[in-house]
Amino acid sequence: MTDRNYLRGERLRLRAVEPADACYMYGVENDPSQWIGSDITAPMSAHVLRDYAETYDADPIRSGQLRLMAEETVTGRTIGIIDLYRISPIDRSAMTGIYVDSTVRRQGYAREMLRLIECYARDILCLHQLNALILADNAGSRRLFETAGYNHTATLRDWKRAAGRYYDVAVYQCLLECVHDEESSEN
């Protein structure tokens, strides 16, 4: 048995949702610029997000989802959210969604969040693969997932509709091989 903390990285840690996170989630979930890349189609009330935070089911296999807040280890400031959803214990797969504050983008936080969730998904949840749906014209997200080891496996034509327009969605897949295991086997 290892004493490794799967949810702590070099500069951030992933932690469970707390009731105090409702305010942060309110800002993220109610940003219309984020809706097109997610399944949100209307604003969410503070009440709904408070209830979600207070009744959060921390068993990802039972609930089929896992939401973790990303916070800087030095400051304790919340800087993002990472989700596993559509978790399938039969297929040993899940979908991945990630949000990083615009104030800290392009600083490596998203890549670290993905690395941590990949190791956790593989070693703790025993998942074999993670998948992501990314708007085909979102070059930044596509680059992030590609550098994180995800492979573009398909493009779904006209998959998303927003403001009277259809958007293609790129499907990315990562068969889970954790970098930490490779590093520890070299030592």
CA 6 to centroid of chain Cα atoms:
15
- Single pTM value for the model: 0.83
**Candidate from 53-62, 66-75, 93-102, 143-152 with smallest mean pLDDT:** 53-62
pLDDT in tens, 150-164: 999 999 999 988 878
Alpha carbon 120 to chain centroid, angstroms:
12
* CA 183/CA 129 separation, integer angstroms: 20
Kindly calculate the radius of gyration of the chain based on its CA atoms and give it in whole angstroms. Answer: 16
Residue with tokens 């499907």: 171
Residue 68 has pLDDT above 90, yes or no: yes
**pLDDT value, residue 47:** 78
* Domains of the chain with bracketed CATH: 12-186 (3.40.630.30)
pLDDT of 32-53, one tens digit each? 666 666 666 667 777 778 777 7
